[in-house]
Structure 1
Amino acid sequence: MTNYRRDLTPGACWFFTLALANRKSSLLIEHIEALRTAFRKVQRRHPWRVDAIVILPNHLHALCTLPAGDADYALRWRQIKGQFSRTIPQGEPVSLSRHLKNERGIWQRRYWEHRIRDANDLARHLDYIHFNPCKHGLVTRAADWPWSSFHHYVRLGLLPADWAGGTAAPARHP
């Protein structure tokens, strides 16, 4: 088995991408309440701050900050994925290796993580998260995608409601 080297800086802010195994699926938005419940349950046991998030039909992006001294984001994602998967009726195709490990075939096994390095890196990843539904052609305005922290940023006055109002990539917010 490949041994991935992961950055485990305690208390850091991270950008994550998690995807479903079936990239044509829309399970994440079809079962958005189950996903929210999974996040809440794990959050109670293993707190962390979700700074920004967007849920798309077949993947999600999130910016999360771990508590000081804690670097175990893998535990949180494993539990979120497991909680969510247990609520979905079985029936998805499962590879032999997953079958032998008694695993579901809902999520891709791996995920992408990137430790945020500085304020510019944070701003770029916030923009990426909030613009992602537009990038994928799901909406033409960021404000039209309901499953995004974009709306929270607007309520806080950190982004204007018309940010990313067209199809071009938006200018960075302050």
Structure 2
Amino acid sequence: MRNYGDILNRPKVFFITFNVYRRRRLLDLDQPKRIILGVLEALRLQAGLKCIGFVIMPNHVHALLWIPAGQSLSFVMHEWKRRSSLLIRTWYTAKAANYFREFGMGRRFWQPKYYPFEIESREKAEEILDYMHLNPTRSQLVQRAVDWKWSSARWYLARRTVGVPIEWVDF
């Protein structure tokens, strides 16, 4: 019989997608995006994560994260969504109530689920990074991926800071 402990207790890389509830465009403004990155940075420090890449779109987030052995992806995602939801709702209420009213407060900020996909090779990680980084161009938000400031494309293509440290990992 296989020793599953070896599989469960090793670092893993995940491509993760999570969406704003009912695909509302509640991430159009810059401050909610800053909050998402701030919470990711806090979790990176708390849980020992490595951010390989990300993109924040108007209604969803993609991230490529390295999760250390012994750390739970479900804990990371629960905390990222919980903390960012609370902070973004608070910010909208205080600073941009009219914008938030247009979409309605809603029962939820994020969709209840997230979509993880384990990445096991450098080639797949590079494919995922390309997919993520081109998302803003496919959505016609910018003409070049490097111009979307809410993406790690700026770090990979121009070595510009992007709000969280970007770290490559060996596969």
Give TM class, smaller chain.
0.7 to 0.9
Q: TM-score, normalised by structure 2?
A: 0.73
Query: Where in structure 1 do 4 or more consecutive aligned residues deviate above 4 Å?
Result: none
On the 8 A contact 2:146/2:158 being kept in 1, the answer is no
Q: For residues 51-99 of structure 1, what are the alpha-carbon distances to aligned partners after superposition, in whole Å with 9 as ceiling and x for unaligned?
A: 00001111011111112x23511101110111111111365222xxxxx
- Out of 116, 137, 147, the position equivalent to 1:113 is 116
Corresponding position: 1:92 with 2:124: no
Equivalent residue letter for 1:150? A
Equivalent residue letter for 2:56? I
Is the alpha carbon distance of 1:130 and 1:60 closer, same or farther for their aligned partners in structure 2, counting shifts above 3 Å?
Answer: same
Q: TM-score, normalised by structure 1?
A: 0.72
SS of 2:82 mapped into structure 1: helix
Q: For residues 113-170 of structure 1, what are the alpha-carbon distances to aligned partners after superposition, in whole Å with 9 as ceiling and x for unaligned?
A: 11112222111101111111112221221122110101111245xxxxxxxxxxxxxx
2:138 and 2:9 map into 1 onto residues whose CA distance is 30
1:51 and 1:40 map into 2 onto residues whose CA distance is 12
RMSD, matched Cα: 2.2
2:13 aligned partner: 13
Is the alpha carbon distance of 1:81 and 1:150 closer, same or farther for their aligned partners in structure 2, counting shifts above 3 Å?
Answer: same
Is the alpha carbon distance of 1:116 and 1:37 closer, same or farther for their aligned partners in structure 2, counting shifts above 3 Å?
Answer: same
On the 8 A contact 1:28/1:59 being kept in 2, the answer is no
Is the alpha carbon distance of 1:119 and 1:44 closer, same or farther for their aligned partners in structure 2, counting shifts above 3 Å?
Answer: closer
On the 8 A contact 1:51/1:65 being kept in 2, the answer is yes
Alpha-carbon distance, 1:8 to partner: 5.5
Matches within 5 A, 1:1-174: 10-27=10-27, 29-30=29-30, 31-67=32-68, 69-87=69-87, 88-89=89-90, 92-94=105-107, 105-156=108-159
Aligned residue-pair number: 140
2:149 and 2:133 map into 1 onto residues whose CA distance is 11
On the 8 A contact 2:25/2:58 being kept in 1, the answer is yes
Equivalent residue letter for 1:34? I
The higher-RCO structure (CA 8 Å, 6+ apart) is: 2
1:41 and 1:76 map into 2 onto residues whose CA distance is 11
- The structure with the largest helix share of the pair is 2
Equivalent residue letter for 2:34? E
On the 8 A contact 1:8/1:71 being kept in 2, the answer is no
Equivalent residue letter for 2:117? H
Matched-pair identity in %: 27
Structure 1: 5+ residue stretches without partners: 1-6, 95-104, 157-174
